[in-house]
């Protein structure tokens, strides 16, 4: 099983209709579509991205699936997540997803960085409800990716978060999935 499939399967065990979720890296919208399928019709996905082209692709995908009404798309950096998620959802988020790196098929120079990722992960953890799940898929093959993955692991240890780590293979540049559960 590939790591994005593992992330989806871990989330499926923990998500239910009506839940509130975050997709902190919307990209082409695969993860938001997956989340919307699980929580529709009454739940909500808050999805963020800094790239207008990604937002356009994602919106088309969600429209085609008839699920756009369940997803609030926010064109902003995920370091602003606290201000951009309405206060009534703070502490009520069941699932949050990060799929780090750059947009496949897009501009590879526009990508997540360890500074903004760590900054926003701390905020997203606060937004979760107790027992909520935070899934972070890290790609180590691009410049800065290995450092970002290491920093996410270090953050989990430093914060004493409860987490599991999965590695694609023994290859040092294979992807890493980190799944955090809020206590």
Ligand X SMILES: C[S@@+](CC[C@H](N)C(=O)[O-])C[C@H]1O[C@@H](n2cnc3c(N)ncnc32)[C@H](O)[C@@H]1O
By CB under 6 A, is residue 25 in contact with ligand X? yes
| Residue number with CB closer to ligand X (121 or 156) | 121
Among 116, 123, 142, 163, the residue binding ligand X under the rule CB under 6 A is 116
If residue 154 lies in a helix (H) or strand (E), which one and from where to where?
helix 145-158
Residue 175 binds ligand X, judged by CB under 6 A = no
Contact pattern from residue 131 through residue 170 relative to ligand X, giving x for each residue in contact according to CB under 6 A and a dash for the rest? ----------------------------------------
Strand-strand pairing, 176-181 and 93-99: unpaired
Distances (CA, A) of 48 to 18, 128, 168: 20, 16, 26
170 vs 80: CA distance, rounded Å:
35
- Residue showing the smallest CB distance to ligand X in the complex: 27
Distance in angstroms (rounded) separating the CA atoms of residues 56 and 53: 5
Report d(CA 119, CA 36) in Å as an integer. 26
Candidate residues 11, 39, 45, 54; the one interacting with ligand X per rule CB under 6 A: 54
Q: Which residues bind ligand X (CB under 6 A)?
A: 25, 27-31, 48-51, 54, 77-78, 99, 101-103, 110-112, 116
């Amino acid at each position: 099983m590939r790591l994005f499939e593992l992330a989806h399967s871990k989330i499926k065990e923990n998500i239910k209709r009506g839940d509130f979720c975050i997709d902190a890296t919307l990209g082409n919208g695969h993860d938001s579509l997956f989340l919307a399928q699980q929580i529709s019709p009454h739940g909500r996905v808050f999805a963020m991205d800094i790239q207008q082209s990604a937002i356009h692709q994602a919106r088309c995908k969600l429209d085609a699936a008839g699920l756009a009404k369940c997803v609030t798309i926010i064109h902003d950096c995920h370091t602003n997540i606290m201000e951009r998620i309405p206060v009534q959802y703070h502490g009520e988020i069941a699932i949050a997803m990060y799929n780090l790196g750059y947009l496949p098929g897009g501009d590879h120079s526009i990508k997540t960085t360890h500074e903004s990722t760590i900054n926003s992960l701390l905020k997203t953890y606060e937004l979760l409800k107790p027992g909520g799940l935070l899934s972070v898929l890290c790609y180590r093959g691009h410049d800065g990716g290995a450092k970002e993955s290491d920093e996410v692991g270090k953050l989990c240890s430093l914060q004493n978060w409860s987490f599991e780590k999965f590695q694609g293979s023994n290859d040092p540049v294979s992807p890493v999935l980190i799944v955090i559960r809020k206590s």
